[in-house]
Structure 1
Amino acid sequence: MELNVSTASQGGHAVVTATGELDLYTAPKLQSALATLLRDQADRIVVDMSGIEFCDSTGVNVLLAALKRIKERNGTLELAAPRPAVRRVLQVTGLDTVFTVVDVAPALDAG
């Protein structure tokens, strides 16, 4: 299965919507989208994970790296609406206490 990634941003806030499987083969697509937003100086990034059906350690590492980079400049990265299987990965690894996890992603106009 593949991963589809789209972004919308508005005034320093960005929403990344990802659907599919986040794994060793697809993680570079999400990493590229996050890197672009970080390069564009987004100060708040929300990753809408409601469409992620599977996430392995590579996907988690991409999210952790983006979190580290945005925190270095006092920004925030949130994970929105992870499905139960992904939420379980976060809980088992203790990352549910590292990431801010919200139930719903904010709506932004595509831009």
Structure 2
Amino acid sequence: MALTSSSHRDGATVTITLRGDADFPGIGDFEDMLAAYVGSDAETIRVDLTGVVFIDSAGISALLKGRRSAEDHGQTFVVTDASGIVRELLEMTGVWSHLSGRA
């Protein structure tokens, strides 16, 4: 299933919502959208994974790079609502607590 992304802003928080497969073929559009908000006046960038059904190393890498870049710009970056196999993969790779802010 192709990855789609949408965003909306609520005050100082931008939420990027992903749906589909967060994998190599489709992750570029997400990275482009994320780049538009990193360094902007948004204080928090939230990535909602509710609709993501699969994630591979390219998707995980994009999330980690996004967090690093946002933090370099003084922004908070948080990933939310991962479930099923996506949550399991993020936990197995040891990045869920880092990305979700839940240590």
Q: Say yes or no: TM over 0.5.
A: yes
Aligned to 1:35: 35
Deviation of the 1:86 alpha carbon: 0.8
Higher relative contact order (CA 8 A, sep 6+): 1
- Worse overlay, 17-26 or 69-78: 69-78
Matched residue type, 1:58: A
Aligned to 1:23: 23
Aligned to 1:64: 64
Any residues of structure 2 matched to 1:1-111 within 5 Å, and which?
1-100=1-100
Deviation of the 1:39 alpha carbon: 4.2
Give me the whole-angstrom Cα distance separating, in 1, the residues matched to 2:69 and 2:93. 20
Tell me if structure 2 keeps the 8 A contact 1:53–1:85: yes
Give me the whole-angstrom Cα distance separating, in 1, the residues matched to 2:49 and 2:82. 5
Percent identity between matched residues is 25
- Residue by residue over 1:46-105, the C-alpha shift from the partner in whole angstroms, topping out at 9 and shown as x without a partner, is 111000000000001111111001111321111111122111111111102211258xxx
What TM-score, normalized to structure 2? 0.90
Which stretches in structure 1 are left out of the alignment for 5+ residues? Answer: 103-111
Q: Secondary structure at the match of 1:98?
A: helix
Q: Secondary structure at the match of 1:70?
A: helix
Aligned to 1:105: none
Which stretches in structure 2 are left out of the alignment for 5+ residues? Answer: none
Tell me if structure 2 keeps the 8 A contact 1:80–1:101: no
Q: Secondary structure at the match of 2:53?
A: strand
- Residue by residue over 1:18-42, the C-alpha shift from the partner in whole angstroms, topping out at 9 and shown as x without a partner, is 1010100000011011011114332
